[in-house]
Amino acid sequence: MKIKDIYKKGTLPLSFEIFPPKGELDPGELRRVLAGLTDERPSFISVTCSAGGTGGNAGKTAHLASIIQDEYSVTAAAHVTCINSKRAEIDETLRSVQAAGLENVLALRGDRVPGCEPGDFAYGAELIRYIRQSPEFSSLCVGAGCYPEGHVDCESPEKDIDRLFEKQEAGADFLISQLFFDNEAFYRFIDKIRSRGVTLPVDAGIMPIMSKSQITRMVFLCGASLPAAVVRLLAKYESDPGSLLAAALDYARGQIADLKRSGACQGIHLYTMNRPDVAHALAQAL
Structural domain spans, the chain: 3-283
pTM: 0.94
DSSP state at residue 155: S
For residue 100, pLDDT beyond 60? yes
pLDDT band (50, 70, 90) for residue 23: low
Report, as an integer, the average pLDDT of 199-225.
89
For domain 3-283, give the CATH number.
3.20.20.220
Spatial distance between the Cα atoms of 158 and 211, rounded to a whole number of angstroms:
32
Closest to 19 in 3D by CA, of 106, 83, 90, 102? 106
pLDDT tens for 178-190 read 999 999 999 999 9
Task: Count CA atoms closer than 13 A to 268's CA, side-chain side.
Answer: 28
Spatial distance between the Cα atoms of 24 and 32, rounded to a whole number of angstroms:
15
Q: Is the dihedral of CA 35, 37, 41, 43 positive or negative?
A: negative
* 18 close to 45: Cβ distance less than 8 angstroms: yes
Report, as an integer, the average pLDDT of 62-71.
96
Residues 6+ apart with CB under 8 A from 132: 138, 142, 170, 171
DSSP string, 85-117: --HHHHHHHHHHHHHTT--EEEEE-----TTPP
Q: Any catalytic annotation for residue 89?
A: no
Report, as an integer, the average pLDDT of 143-164.
92
Report, as an integer, the average pLDDT of 243-251.
95
Report, as an integer, the average pLDDT of 88-95.
96
* 205 close to 179: Cβ distance less than 8 angstroms: yes
Which of the pair, 163 or 21, is modelled with greater confidence? Answer: 163
For residue 222, pLDDT beyond 60? yes
Length of the chain in terms of residues written: 286
pLDDT band (50, 70, 90) for residue 54: very low
**Catalytic annotation, pick one of 17, 40, 89, 149:** 17
Spatial distance between the Cα atoms of 157 and 4, rounded to a whole number of angstroms:
27
Q: Is the dihedral of CA 25, 29, 35, 36 positive or negative?
A: negative
Report, as an integer, the average pLDDT of 115-135.
93
Closest to 1 in 3D by CA, of 82, 105, 115, 102? 102
Spatial distance between the Cα atoms of 17 and 78, rounded to a whole number of angstroms:
10
Through-space distance between the first and last CA atoms of the chain, rounded to whole angstroms: 22
E strand segments, 132-223: 141-146, 174-179, 202-206
**pLDDT at position 17:** 97
